[in-house]
Amino acid sequence: MDSDTGSSCSRSSSPDLVVNDAARSFFSNKMFQTYYRENGEDNKATKSRMDDGLTAKPKARSELNRDEIQDMRLKVNSRERKRMHDLNQAMDGLREVMPYAHGPSVRKLSKISTLLLARNYILMLSSSLEEMKKLVGDVYGGSATIQSRSSALSAMNPTTPSAHLPLHPLAQSLHSLVASTPLTFQHHSTSAVAPAPHSPPSSTFLSFHSPIQGLLKDPHHLSSTYRHLPGMPCPCSLCQPLPTTTSTLQSMSMTK
């Protein structure tokens, strides 16, 4: 039923967003042809169904002829398609910043996998940031500057880790440090030189602190897509440092 059959990738969830093309693609697909057939002169059933669905405003709707109703339906469909395409573009944008290899030969993450991975990735970065803050604090012996900045961060958002303030100068500097931290991500410096297919991220990562464990029943399908990337902290369970503040992370976890 895909209307974007002209796309190079038949499985693309985000076909090129050409709004003007939406109607044309719709007109070319099977569903529209079926729809058009069913809305022919002799099809009373479909017409009555359409009318039933549009009788919320009897007076206004009754003034619309079938062509106008059809045009309206096409406009609604087009908007919905555009909305979903925008959503998929956002999903692609999220995939791009995930520590996974990207490329035509690599099967992209499913939507649910992307969301679960993104969430756990954020949690991992948060814990890494906390770890780095402690390390920096140790290095500078509890420098007043660090302390004041840390307390400032806490004051700005006392209920959530300062990792949620990525634009803060301290957060930026710490974030840059995270990528080269020997303690936590040491083996990345070697594997990252020549990115190679990684063992499948275990379910412990994809369900890391997740209240919806088991939602991603078979994370092994990710095995062909996972790679260590240069400078990217690895979210896999093998590389996963234990959260420094489990309670904090759990408080951040989704409540649904």
Partner DNA sequence: TAGGCCATCTGGTCCT
Partner DNA sequence: AGGACCAGATGGCCTA
Among 16, 18, 19, 30, binds DNA (CB under 7 A): 30
Q: In angstroms, give the least distance from the CB of 205 to DNA.
A: 16
Q: Which of 235, 196, 240, 201 is nearest to 221 (CA)?
A: 201
In the structure encoding, which two tokens stand for residue 118, read together?
Answer: 């993104």
203 scored as a contact of DNA (CB under 7 A): no
76 scored as a contact of DNA (CB under 7 A): yes
Among 6, 10, 196, 238, binds DNA (CB under 7 A): 10
Please say whether the beta carbons of 86 and 109 come within 8 A: no
127 scored as a contact of DNA (CB under 7 A): no
**Stretches 54-62, 184-192, 227-235, 241-249: which one binds DNA (CB under 7 A)?**
54-62
1 scored as a contact of DNA (CB under 7 A): yes
Q: Which of residues 129-158 bind DNA (CB under 7 A)?
A: none
In the structure encoding, which two tokens stand for residue 222, read together?
Answer: 């990710």
**Stretches 109-117, 124-132, 198-206, 237-245: which one binds DNA (CB under 7 A)?**
109-117
**Stretches 105-113, 150-158, 183-191, 233-241: which one binds DNA (CB under 7 A)?**
105-113
Q: In angstroms, give the least distance from the CB of 36 to DNA.
A: 10
Q: Which of 143, 144, 168 is nearest to 156 (CA)?
A: 168
Q: What is the full DSSP assignment across 102-161?
A: -STTSPPPPHHHHHHHHHHHHHHHHHHHHHHHHHHHHHTTS-HHHHHHHHHHHHH-TTS-
Total number of residues binding DNA (CB under 7 A)?
A: 44
Residue 92 burial by Cβ neighbours in a 10 Å radius (0-12, 13-18, 19+): middle
Give the dihedral of Cα atoms 132, 136, 137, 140; nearest 10 deg. 170
Q: In angstroms, give the least distance from the CB of 76 to DNA.
A: 6
Non-local (6+) Cβ contacts of 45 within 8 A are none
Among 102, 164, 175, 221, binds DNA (CB under 7 A): 221
In the structure encoding, which two tokens stand for residue 33, read together?
Answer: 């042809």
53 scored as a contact of DNA (CB under 7 A): yes
Give residues in contact with DNA (CB under 7 A).
1-5, 10-15, 25-26, 29-32, 35, 49-50, 53, 56-57, 60, 73, 75-81, 83-85, 88, 107, 110-113, 216-217, 221
